[in-house]
Structure 1
Amino acid sequence: MTSPADELPADVATLSFEQARDELVRVVAELEQGAPTLEQSLALWTRGEQLAARCEEWLLGAKRRLDEARAARAGDE
């Protein structure tokens, strides 16, 4: 079974949440301004999808850790 990180390019899979988020903001701004060519727009869109997936992966991991900590705390009480 593969994880979402296995499907991302190596450079995206190694980004921290903050790095991926900041680059995603830049990509969205570029897309909103309009890329000169369709090919560039598609490349930006693809990169944005990869960055969004990386951010989601980080957020799901954080949620999982919080849920585990809450369950452990509830078990201690």
Structure 2
Amino acid sequence: MALIINEECINCDVCEPECPNGAISQGEDIYIINPELCTECVGHHDLPQCMEVCPVDCIDKDPKHVEDKESLYQKYLKLIG
């Protein structure tokens, strides 16, 4: 499942450089996560790095993009391929 940043985002800029897939970018009002690039850090780290560094805990699982760990790993393989 890809992740999503909710409206509690304070635009602190700490999540964007932590994403190994470049899935996080500045949106119109808050940071956004591209679900096509988000693997929840599967293939890179044990835990999603954006969630680890977020000071306001505004990153959640995106119910619109449900994926299991194997699907996330396959996406990771395509991204690095």
TM-score (norm 1): 0.27
TM-score (norm 2): 0.26
Larger Rg: 1
**Structure in which a larger fraction of residues adopt strand:** 2
